[in-house]
Every structure is written in C-alpha cells, then in structure tokens.
Chain A
Amino acid sequence: MKPANAPSPENPVVLFGRFVRDCRLALKATARSVANAAGMQPSNLCALEHGMQQPPQNHERLRRLAAALHLEIGTQEFANFADLAAKANNSTPIDLAQILTENDAMPVLLRTIGNKKLTKADLRRISEFVRAT
C-alpha cells in the first residue's frame, strides 16, 4: 500500500526527479559524481531524484545541474529538463527566461499571441512557419 505522504507520480516535482535520474543513469554516473559536478550535496540530488525536493530555483544552479547531466542548451533534452523544472517550480523555463531578457520584442510578441487566445494548433502552425523562415 502506498504511504499517505508519498508524492504522486504525476507530480511535476516527481517527474523532474525521474527525468534527472534517467539522464544520470544513461550517463552511467553515480549521484555523488553528478552532485559534485553540479555543486550539490549527494543527498540533495538523491532527494531531488525521488521527488522529495524541488528543483533548484536559482537559474545558475539549474544550469550547473544540466551541465553535470551533459544536457546541452538548444537540444530537446535540455528543453525537456527546463520545462519540467519550470513546471515543478511554477516558473518560466530557464532557456525561455534568457530569451525573454535578451530581446525586448519577445515579451511584446508573447503578450500579443496570448491576448489572441490562439489554439494549440494555431501555435503549432506559427512555430512551423517560423522554423521554415
């Protein structure tokens, strides 16, 4: 029987932890070595992998963790990592936060899109259009 205080498997904190563990095991690295590279205590990384601890809120720490897991900025894995961390922390994904601060026109563009109440299909078409240009 599942203990009453066990985190739900659909919980974004749990999903992020599982993602981190999968990345680490794919690298065949121990929690200790990844934690050392990320500047964390091994116990904190293990707790994070079990969904018992939030992902780091600090962007620099989150980036160090991604680097320790060999996730390169611009790859799909990094985007997944950033999205899951953002969901777990209820914040903006670190790569998007950087894009937003680098270009003043970005927030304007996003607000315009947001105000239009576009569907997912509309947004996908816009993404494809931008990708093709």
Chain B
Amino acid sequence: MPYKPKERQFLEGKAAELRGKPGVLEGSVLRVEALADVLGLELLPKAGLKDEFGIEAYLAGRKNTIVVDRDAMDFGSPRYFFTLAEEIAHHVIHVDDRSKVTLQTCVLDLSQHDYELLEWDAKYLAGAMLMPVEEFEAIFRKSVQKEKEALGNAGDRETITRYAIRKCYQAFGVSFHAAVIRAQALGLIDSRMKANLEKYLRH
C-alpha cells in the first residue's frame, strides 16, 4: 500500500502536543530524552552502531525501544538529539500498538519514493518538535530586523540570514543545519539561500 504523507498542519499539531507533555521543556529547548521517558520509550545503547551501520539510532520492533549508538549518546550532540527526536516521531506517527503496526511492517512494501516520504514526515515532525513554528518564526524575524538595523547598508542578505539562523539554533539547542532546514520548511528562506548556507557550513 502506498504511503500517504501527513499534512503539515497535523504534524505541527502533533509537535505542539508532544511539547505540551509535562517536564519535557527546559525554556524553549525540548529535552528529547525526557520526552522518550514520558512516552514510555527506552533507550538501549549499542556500541559501534554508527561505525557498523552508519546510523545513530533506530526504533526497534515492538518493544518500545530506541537503539542508540553508545558514543553518540555519551557525546550528546545536537545532531544526536535530532536523530532521537526523529525516531520518536516514527513511533508517534508510524507505529500503532493496537493494530500491532511497527515501523518495520510499515516500511515493508514501500517503494523508495514512499519510504523517502515517510522519512521526510518523521524529519519534519522532529524539526517541529524541537523548533515550534510560532517561536521559531518570531526569533527569526526579530533577529533579521535587529541585524538589518545594526548593519544598515553594509549587511548582505546571507550575512543577515546567517545571524538569524544562529539565534534560532542557539534558542532551541539544535544544529545550524537543522535550523536551516526548518527555516526553509517554514518558507523563511528559499532553496537558493539554503544551498548557500549549507555551503557556508561545509567550509
């Protein structure tokens, strides 16, 4: 059966619902591991997961367990927390305990294209969980305005956007790249600016 992508409004609503769970926020930052606890998900560290399979985490079958790379967990980088949020997103939107649908059964017959849509939904929900739409937009627009005023004519669009992205990733405890993707998903930057920022990131 083909995968039916989720509506963005649905995903934003789910994200708001998850951020509303008790004890999961520290200021604006989502404590992803606390959310896993609240949802009854257990984290199981495994040594060498990233080296062997190139992944930092995956949602295991029916045992409500997310297997995580041991070193990535100990290091606790923003990228690790995003990956964890992504696996939680899979659990929330792609697993149904009542009908015993696991992520594995869900992806079994999917085409590559549908599988990518499914992954994109999880990524989108992870981004929305970590960077709520209203707050993100407000910080982004305020920072753009502030930097424009500070730089006057000397400020080019990319420098100003970079500043706004920096303010966003600092506010939500995510990586620069995650904030760039969220900004594009929300229509705050176009694909060309995204490409320029990613190029900047690589250098």
Q: Chain A interface secondary structure, helix, strand, loop or mixed?
A: helix
The reply to whether the CB of A23 lies closer than 8 angstroms to some CB of chain B is no
A47: chain B residues at CB < 8 Å are 44-45
Q: How far is the CB of A14 from chain B (nearest CB, A)?
A: 13
Known contacts A50-B42, A50-B44: A43-B37 contact under CB 8 Å:
no
B45: chain A residues at CB < 8 Å are 42-43, 46-47
Q: How far is the CB of B103 from chain A (nearest CB, A)?
A: 18
Contact, CB under 8 Å: B37 / A30? yes
A31: chain B residues at CB < 8 Å are 33, 43
In the complex, A28 Cα to B74 Cα: how many Å? 20
In the complex, the number of residue pairs spanning A and B with C-beta atoms less than 8 Å apart equals 34
The reply to whether the CB of B31 lies closer than 8 angstroms to some CB of chain A is yes
The reply to whether the CB of A41 lies closer than 8 angstroms to some CB of chain B is yes
Q: How far is the CB of A24 from chain B (nearest CB, A)?
A: 8
Contact, CB under 8 Å: B74 / A46? no
B71: chain A residues at CB < 8 Å are 43
Q: How far is the CB of B45 from chain A (nearest CB, A)?
A: 4
Contact, CB under 8 Å: A42 / B42? no
Which residues does B use to contact A, with CB under 8 Å?
Answer: 22-23, 31, 33-34, 37, 42-45, 68, 70-71, 73-74, 76
